Amino acid sequence: MLKVSVPATSANLGSGFDCIGVALNLYNDFYFFSDNEQGVPSEAVLLEKRSLAHQGMNLVAEVLKKDTPNLKIAVRASVPSSRGLGSSATLAVAGLVAANVLLKGKLDEEKIISLATEIEGHPDNAAPALVGGMVISVTSFNEIKYIKIRPQNNLRIIVAVPDFQLSTVAARNILPKQVSREDAVFNTGRFGMFMTSILTGDYRYLNIAMEDALHQPYRMSLIPGFKEVITAAYSKGALGSCLSGAGPTVLAFCKDNEENIRKSMVEAWSSFGISAVTHVLDISSKGTLYKFENYIS
Ligand code: HSE
């Protein structure tokens, strides 16, 4: 049996819409197994044959011109789904990595991220899910190019996950097709400042660097309490705060005061009648890991 563990990811980080994501130490564990194999944990749930993990396996098999391994896939999920924490990217990446390993594919990371982007539509979750760390990725001549960054100091990440789902499709459909030059410049400057802050460890303006004019203002209408949760995080000392991916989860970076920040975010949501759970996380520097367990060839 092949076990593939893929981390949750948070994309956009405010001003980096569709270009950046960070891997978090919260994992979905996938088990690829045949009927005669034992050892899948009882809490793992079997995936349907049309799942993104199956699509990932099929895509790699197609690229390698081989047959898709005839295996079942089960997941032990810790990453909440449809909350803006990259759960769908975990599925796609797991399927791609598993097929590459099982079919001895030797596809490199850039190729796997490109294939994940074919499934997902954007690389910002898949790239850090695969390679870990904070990853900036762009499409150039139909290929994904990425750079992995290891942020300085010990930035911690709080995610406040409300008890409602938001489909990425709905959260993308609400965005305008065109933006003004003013809004483009607003984000360009802030994203430059975000990267500079992360790379230098100078977080004085991280709150400004994580402001956004391209997606958050439109998505706010789908997320009651969004602004108030961010304000609450800042009131207790968060360094920066934003929507996680397409939402509805809200993320806050901090170096200390985790407990106060976490509580204030939950309370802000509670004042809108929404309950939320929080996770205080670290950046996962390794990304996707796999190993054979009780393997019968
Ligand atoms: N960058 C994407 C978005 C992430 O904001 O729509 C969705 O997972």
- On whether the CB atoms of residues 156 and 281 are closer than 8 A, the answer is yes
Position 35 scores a pLDDT of 85
Could you give the CA distance from residue 8 to residue 87 in angstroms, rounded to a whole number?
Answer: 6
- On whether the CB atoms of residues 244 and 11 are closer than 8 A, the answer is yes
Residue 104 CA, ligand 1 centroid: distance in Å: 31
Q: Which residues line ligand 1 (CB under 6 A)?
A: 11-12, 17-18, 122, 124-125, 168, 171-172, 215, 245-246
3-state SS class at 219? helix
Residue 194 CA, ligand 1 centroid: distance in Å: 18
Residue 84 CA, closest ligand 1 atom number: 8
Position 145 scores a pLDDT of 95
- On whether the CB atoms of residues 277 and 270 are closer than 8 A, the answer is no
Question: pLDDT tens, position by position, for the chain (297 residues)?
Answer: 999 999 999 999 999 999 999 999 999 999 999 988 888 898 999 999 999 999 999 999 999 999 999 999 999 999 999 999 999 999 999 999 999 999 999 999 999 999 999 999 899 999 999 999 999 999 999 889 999 998 877 799 999 999 999 999 999 999 999 999 999 999 999 999 999 999 999 999 999 999 999 999 999 999 999 999 999 999 999 999 999 999 999 999 999 999 999 999 999 999 999 999 999 999 999 999 999 987 544
Q: Which two tokens stand for residue 229?
A: 């949760």
How many other C-beta atoms lie within 10 A of the C-beta of residue 72?
A: 16
Q: Which two tokens stand for residue 61?
A: 């098999």
- What pTM does this model have? 0.95
Q: Which amino acid is at 275?
A: S
- On whether the CB atoms of residues 46 and 30 are closer than 8 A, the answer is no
Q: Where are the beta strands (DSSP E) in the chain?
A: 2-11, 20-33, 45-46, 72-76, 134-140, 143-149, 156-162, 240-243, 250-254, 276-281, 289-292
3-state SS class at 252? strand
Residue 17 CA, closest ligand 1 atom number: 1
Position 62 scores a pLDDT of 98
The residues of the chain that CATH labels 3.30.70.890 are: 156-281
- On whether the CB atoms of residues 272 and 266 are closer than 8 A, the answer is no
CATH superfamily placement of domain 156-281: GHMP kinase, C-terminal domain (3.30.70.890)
Residue 234 CA, ligand 1 centroid: distance in Å: 23
Position 112 scores a pLDDT of 96
Q: Which two tokens stand for residue 200?
A: 């230098």
Position 297 scores a pLDDT of 45
Could you give the CA distance from residue 188 to residue 138 in angstroms, rounded to a whole number?
Answer: 14
User: Under CATH, what is the fold of the domain 2-149+284-292?
Assistant: Ribosomal Protein S5; domain 2 (3.30.230)
Residue 35 CA, ligand 1 centroid: distance in Å: 36
The residues of the chain that CATH labels 3.30.230.10 are: 2-149+284-292
